[in-house]
Homo-oligomer: A and B are copies of this chain.
Amino acid sequence: MDIKAMVLEKAKNAKKSARKLAGTSTAAKNEALTAMADGLIKARDELKKENEKDIAYAKEKGLSSALIDRLLLNDKRIDGMAGGLKEIVALPDPVGEVTHMWHRPSGIRVGKIRVPLGVIGIIYESRPNVTADAVGLSIKSGNAIILRGGSEAINSNKAIANILIKSAMEAGLPEGCIQLIDITDRQAIQDMIKLDQYIDMIVARGGHELIKAVSEGATIPIAKHSAGVCHTFVDTGADLKVAEDICFNAKVQRPGVCNSMETMLVHKDVAEAFLPDMIKRFLDAGVEIRGCQQTKSIVPNILDATEEDWYTEYLDLILSVRVVKDIDEAIDHIETYGSHHSDAIVTKDYERANRFLNEVDSAAVYANASTRFTDGSEFGLGAELGISTQKLHSRGPMGLEDLTSQKFIIFGSGQIRQ
């Protein structure tokens, strides 16, 4: 099989459909999305059967339980995928929205109007529900999509994509608007990311290696959904019960996802009061703790944190803990070791809350809440195509608006430039 020719063919087909899809009405797009949701529910058993193959292979390879959890499709998650599509139906169509319009002294009227990007390529790892979310968001925002999931979920992704394509075609969407690259050879990625004539944006969701390979080879603009090395800083004077609940939730509620906490920073003045109970609760929940020397002096019998730990996204029940002398040291730590994803302060102090929100340069910065909220649905954007850890084109959870561009429209009555 000629991989390059196959990828090119799919990209051309996507591009051809994009102009038609851009002119498709909101009603027709919603009808197709509803058909896709129903299609997934009807194919429940088939999806679980295909998913079992991926799970069996993951176990054979000895993947961690957190990573296997990311792969799993059960009834609840299939309902979740379908529900996600229906949630997208309910969201307003961003295409055609005139976000501003104004007059100029020259007499022209200038407006900005949202238009689809055209063709979106998504390169992702693990979670198969991304397939449905990505298709739903792309179609609603008038974009054709090319899917390239990871080998670990290939059977699940194929099954989901085929149901979505079938439902979309039956509902009358333009042929070719959903493309699946179903070979797992990495060469397909390298070919795909150079097709700037046909693809307008690449969304890259995955580990450091994937992001690096895509960034270095691409001639297409990339939205990177990279690692989440997220922090919570427990400030002096914080309500320690609130801090404990927030930190526990951020680490334990779903450790395998990018918005879970990887490093807890604790102000030195509350470390002795806070750390013993907090760490006991973590240990009881099966969390491995890696602490700095000051942490160990308060709670012995935990592991040493190394320099590398501060940079690490565990995606597992492991937490690094560091005692810092003040908010400056906390912010410096986050800016040095973090991945600019989601970081929180737990504090009662008005000024320090504001300083943290202003000075921490991350996609989502929190005062007094769990970093686990960084999510399209939780933020009210609907499902998300990824969480951007870069500063452009979008930052944080990428919803429908982030899949559009704005063009200028100008209404004149014969004006010429002087």
Which residues on A are within 8 Å of B, measured CB to CB? 19, 22-23, 102, 104, 106, 108, 110, 115, 117-118, 196, 200-201, 215-216, 219, 221-222, 239, 242, 245-246, 248-250, 253, 335, 357-359, 361-370, 372-374, 378-380, 390-393, 395-397, 405-417
Contacts and interface: CB of A to CB of B under 8 A. Distances in A.
Given A117-B392, A378-B106, A414 B369 contact: yes
Given A249-B417, A362-B407, A369-B412, 20 more contacts: A19-B335, A104-B379, A104-B380, A118-B361, A201-B392, A221-B392, A221-B393, A246-B414, A248-B416, A253-B416, A253-B417, A363-B407, A363-B408, A364-B409, A366-B410, A373-B410, A373-B417, A391-B405, A392-B405, A395-B406
A414 B357 contact: no
B391 A408 contact: no
24 contacts: A106-B373, A106-B378, A108-B378, A117-B392, A118-B361, A216-B219, A221-B393, A250-B416, A253-B417, A365-B407, A365-B409, A367-B409, A367-B410, A367-B411, A369-B410, A369-B413, A370-B412, A370-B416, A370-B417, A372-B416, A378-B417, A379-B408, A392-B392, A395-B407
Contacts of A246: 414, 416
A358 B409 CA distance: 9
Contacts of A222: 221
A173 to B, nearest CB: 19
B219 A391 contact: no
A406 B394 CA distance: 7
Contacts of A391: 117-118, 200-201, 221, 405
A242 B253 CA distance: 66
B416 A245 contact: yes
Contacts of A396: 407-408
B369 A108 contact: yes
Nearest to A380: B104
Given A362-B407, A363-B408, A406-B395, A415 B370 contact: yes
A365 to B, nearest CB: 5
B415 A373 contact: yes
Nearest first, the 10 closest Cβ-Cβ pairs linking A and B are: A369-B412, A249-B416, A392-B393, A372-B417, A391-B405, A393-B393, A368-B412, A364-B408, A242-B414, A369-B415
A279 to B, nearest CB: 18
A365 B411 CA distance: 9
A261 to B, nearest CB: 12
A297 to B, nearest CB: 29
